[in-house]
Structure 1
């Protein structure tokens, strides 16, 4: 990585502070992030919703399972953002083989349930190491940081659940009392089209929450990864020297 080109100030931080840096990075580059992430997510959501009439829970499962693959777009945008570069959808499309096609089986199968995937995804996607070198690199970066990475995952899983059920609850909170919305939620199978409508509401709510929350989750993990590399490779000192003697 070109340390001299970084547009963020590097210094040793706690991993909690590093998460804050990641959230600030999302706010600073929100336009790049959502204009690249939204088309991919909506395309996947549209295809997933085609299955709702067959199995009501399948759209949720598809979206959930493909999140690590969708996160690759976010890592690509964030990696450019730390150098102060804006990203267009055309940039993602030009790099589509690297961004969307690389390590597909690893991403969707044995790494899917990794409790620290947001933290280690940059190792997999950006460093380009293979085999034993990649495994050693992961062990090195995870050393003494498994707890922080797992806590990040746990916090965002709970936030995701709260937001999804909060969105669903809005429907009957704001519905007129005579509309019978509460009964529709409790016993959807007893109403014409009730189960299909309920499944659609759940799938759309989950899509909206992933669209909003996933960039913050990935950015927090990516910033933790950068912070670990600062500690291991003294990037902060190198950056200071380069600025001093520029």
Structure 2
């Protein structure tokens, strides 16, 4: 595996980013990936749909769907080679993937067929050739960073397939004239309806083949990016580049030889002219261990402190099931053993008992079941009766309303932020050449009054348009004026269109008529 030839930028990515990268690769290599999946699938699908009688037209699509793991392996292998610069032909990809799979594909057609993480787990079988305990350990290592996203990736691709199938039926229905009857579901009930049966089979196959490149590449890049994270491929690439850069020659042979001679002469002179006491002191210092205040000791202490932190400790509890040995059975005996009377009763029931006792026991069990059913019905009825007053209070609005927001789209609605006379204050601000503040005051006062007196359920995430629709529903008497006020406010706030003085004075008059001359 030559990491320096990889076709993507190596860096840590989240699982969703890895899926997006897989979609990008699917768009880049879409034709070859689609052919790699479709050709072997068509070699099975086409003979089946041609040879099978009309009553079994659903079989080819089911067979092609069940063998999806086989078809998915070819695009994954082709992408794994192209990702590292190996250009394979489609014929080589088909041959190599068939050779690599062999009997290892059998589990994918049996108990692993419905695995939601198949797109990310299949590369383990195909590329790492792992099985048994080694595969389970590897999956336990890879799944914590990608398992949930791989499952959602599968769910999304299944929905994409159904969107294409339904779209194909809709397209055919639009193309047919009204005189020709067409029922998309007739093949389920009418055995003589061949058109919808053929269409369903063909649309299913085409939908699976069209979604396959995105499905396989999304799962494959989840697998690759998880390995990049665990094995540090990006760090290895950087170290290789650094080593290559440091290994380049920077001087000629003559320069190196001159530097070597100068270094040797300097060392000889330094040793020859050094005092003997200094030499002895240096030797004794070299023999001593580094002190606790040395930079090396301080760095080592800091490293140990970091490694002893909670961030580098991970405790995982796993519960496993294992077979009991005779010794374990002896230790576990006692409390876990079933009572002897229960064992005798079960043995008697297994033998059938005598006829009279058997009929009596059956009658007793029926009576017990009816009693349990009656108890459940009475309990449910009682609970519903107890909850009825609560539901009536909720319908009558007696319960405390939900808390209303203090701020809507940047406008403060707290009562203490509004003046006693909203209209008079707004007119004063308008005459002081502050049209935005004046109109904002009218709008804030209207919102606060609608929440307080009319109980309009504004929420902090609502927009101006949503607030206007809520007013139309909960306070229809104020809806006309509030809609006009909202429109004027939006033009000023977002388009910087200042209303005329006559319009503003009319809004103030209507505000006073609608909400009264008081603080909201």
Q: Say if 1:160 and 1:209, in contact at 8 Å, map to a contact too.
A: yes
Whole-angstrom CA distance in 2 between matches of 1:98 and 1:162? 35
- What is the alpha-carbon distance in structure 2 between the residues aligned to residue 152 and residue 93 of structure 1? 25
1:189, distance to aligned residue in structure 2 (A): 8.2
What corresponds to 1:185 in structure 2? 184
The 8 Å contact of residues 29 and 81 in structure 1, kept in 2 or not, is answered as no
| Alignment partner of 1:25 is 2:31 | no
Q: Which structure 2 residues correspond to residues 185-204 of structure 1 after superposition, within 5 A?
A: 185-187=184-186, 194-204=192-202
Q: CA RMSD in A?
A: 2.2
**Aligned pair partner of 1:229 in 216, 219, 227:** 227
* Alpha-carbon distance in 1 for matches of 2:189, 2:121: 46
- The structural deviation recorded for 1:156 is 0.8
CA distance in 2, matches of 1:133, 1:188: 46
User: Which digits, 9 at most, give the CA deviation of each residue in 1:91-148, with x for residues without a partner?
Assistant: 1244254245341211211110001000111111100123211110011101243211
Bigger Rg, which one: 2
Contact 1:6 1:82 in 2 (8 A): yes
Corresponding residue of 1:210: 208
Deviates more, 1:95-104 or 1:2-11: 95-104
Q: 1:52 to 1:96 in 2, by over 3 A?
A: farther
Task: Tell me, in whole angstroms, the C-alpha distance in 2 between the residues paired with 1:125 and 1:27.
Answer: 23
The runs of at least 4 consecutive aligned structure 1 residues that moved more than 6 Å come to none
Work out the CA distance in 2 between the residues paired with 1:96 and 1:124. 11
Matches of 2:228 and 2:188, distance apart in 1: 55
The match for 1:36 is 36
Q: Which residue of 1 aligns with 2:2?
A: 2
Deviates more, 1:107-116 or 1:22-31: 22-31
Q: Distance in 1 between matches of 2:31 and 2:99?
A: 22
Matches within 5 A, 1:164-183: 164-181=165-182
Q: Distance in 1 between matches of 2:60 and 2:2?
A: 41
**1:72–1:99 CA contact under 8 A, matched in 2:** no
- Structure 1 residue 29: Cα displacement: 2.0
Could you tell me which runs of 5 or more consecutive residues in structure 2 were left unpaired when the two chains were aligned.
245-520
Whether the aligned pair in 1 keeps the contact of 2:34 and 2:212 (CA below 8 Å) is no
| 1:145-156 correspondence runs (5 A) | 145-156=146-157
Question: Which blocks of at least 5 consecutive residues in structure 1 are unaligned?
Answer: none
The offset of 1:33, in angstroms, is 1.7
| Alignment partners' CA distance in 1, 2:105 and 2:170 | 36
Alpha-carbon distance in 2 for matches of 1:34, 1:188: 29
Distance 1:195 1:233 in 2: 56
1:192-232 deviations in Å (ceiling 9; x for gaps): x8522211111110111111111110100000111111111
CA deviation vs aligned residue, 1:152-203 (integer Å, no higher than 9, x gap): 111111111111111122111221112222xx43545898x85222111111
Q: How many residues are matched?
A: 243
1:132 aligns to what? 133
Q: What is the alpha-carbon distance in structure 2 between the residues aligned to residue 3 and residue 188 of structure 1?
A: 52
Q: Which residue of 2 aligns with 1:14?
A: 14
Matched with 2:107 is 106
Q: Larger relative CO (CA 8 A, sep 6+): 1 or 2? A: 1
- Measure the CA separation in 1 of the matches of 2:4 and 2:135: 25
- Report the TM-score when normalising by structure 2: 0.44
How do residues 26-105 of structure 1 correspond to structure 2 at under 5 angstroms? 26-49=26-49, 50-51=51-52, 53-99=54-100, 101-105=102-106
Per the normalisation by structure 1, the TM-score is 0.89
